Amino acid sequence: MTTYSFNYSVLDDPAAAGATVAFGINSLGQIVGYYLGGDAKNHGFLYSSGTYSSIDDPAISEFTVATGINDSGQIAPALVPAQQAGQSLRARWIVRL
């Protein structure tokens, strides 16, 4: 039987009033995802070097989710259905913080 050892950390965005959910990590250890804020809206986040940064798409007031990050620091969004975004499926933003 093979034994594996892992290190893990609990992510808890300080702005979160509910869950913090991670969706992507790059080789630099930068993590992206979303958290449920006190305003009952989903806010994207970047966790890098011990610091959380919020990411909000100004075109969608209630739903911003970061789904991936590459080693250049480019962040990919979730696709938002037309009925939520008021238009066709969108993946408009790529952020580099």
Residue 61, pLDDT score: 66
Query: Which of the 8 DSSP states describes residue 11?
Result: -
* Phi, psi of 83, deg, nearest 5: -65, -25
Q: Residues of the chain whose pLDDT is less than 50?
A: 82, 85, 88-92, 97
pLDDT at residue 78, rounded to an integer: 77
Provide the token pair at 75: 């962040």
CA–CA separation, 13 and 19 (whole Å): 9
Residue extents of the structural domains in the chain: 20-91
